[in-house]
Structure 1
Amino acid sequence: MGEKKALELLQESGFHEVFDMNGPEGKPNFPFADISAVRSGVRYLIGVKTRNKYTSTGGINPCYNYHKKTMNVADIAALYKATPAWLVIPVIPELNQFSAYFGTLDQVNEGKERYSIPTTQAAFPFYECLADGIQDGTLISEFSNGGFAAHMRKNGLS
């Protein structure tokens, strides 16, 4: 679901030459990147991470893993003359709802290499929002980890 939705969102956000790196013409399980796309003359290799917005205990999922520590993302991106980037898609399956945020790895590295993308409410304003609270009938409750219900109970909202 995430990669398909990401392809659409990137095109709607002014990216072109949007290519599914894992698709039939790509390489299955391409390292770290799912999509290649160009905007404003810059090519990006984009890792797409779709996760439940809430952890199973009801808290906000604080970060989404981006790549393994043994992987040199910068070197892989350099082979394609690209900038390593990411697109995170927090979902609330019970509400059939998702949001999407785009950024580059440099944005989150903070002087040292990070292996995850911060996904807290405090982090989101620093990213480019491609979608916010969008309804999507393909998100069904079976995708849930129970986190939204736990969040509601935890906050006395259920």
Structure 2
Amino acid sequence: MNYEKLQFNLNAYKETGEILDGARFLIHEFELDDENFLGFGFRDELEKNSILLTANGEIGDMQEVLIPRNLFDFDLTLVLNMLAHEMLHVRQKSPKMMILDKNEREWQAYYEMLFHTNFPQIPELSDYYKNFFGEKALIYYGRMGEGSELQLKYLEQKLEVEKLLQDIKNKA
């Protein structure tokens, strides 16, 4: 993928205020689209240096991903990983998957940001963001309930996340 050309296109969308079209362009370019995806809408921006996207819709229904208007002010690799996170939620809430437990959905989505098992075409995050999202993943793992069936289901992945975080710490 030619990131210079990609950034050029995104800057054009940004300059013309076509942020939703730019987001659609990215999910098309990176093959993130899903039949359960309704489209993009805007959400309020949190702060200039904070980014939040959400997949909205009832489980089993079509999902709309809400993005901030300042989405393209952020690092492209971060944006792509955040989009992949939400597009995984779109799949998880589809009639095909119907993952009911929010902790399981979040665990899977943060794990995806670290290891790209569903979307291998998404670029790797910096160690800073891997550490940040790895810690978030472990919070959701903990919320599954100590020794629960869900924790047992994801124990091997948890060990992978812990190893990744330890490797990052050892580099520092």
Same fold (TM over 0.5): no
TM-score by length of 1: 0.30
Which protein is richer in helix relative to its size? 2
Which protein is richer in strand relative to its size? 1
Greater relative CO, 1 or 2 (CA 8 Å, sep 6+): 1
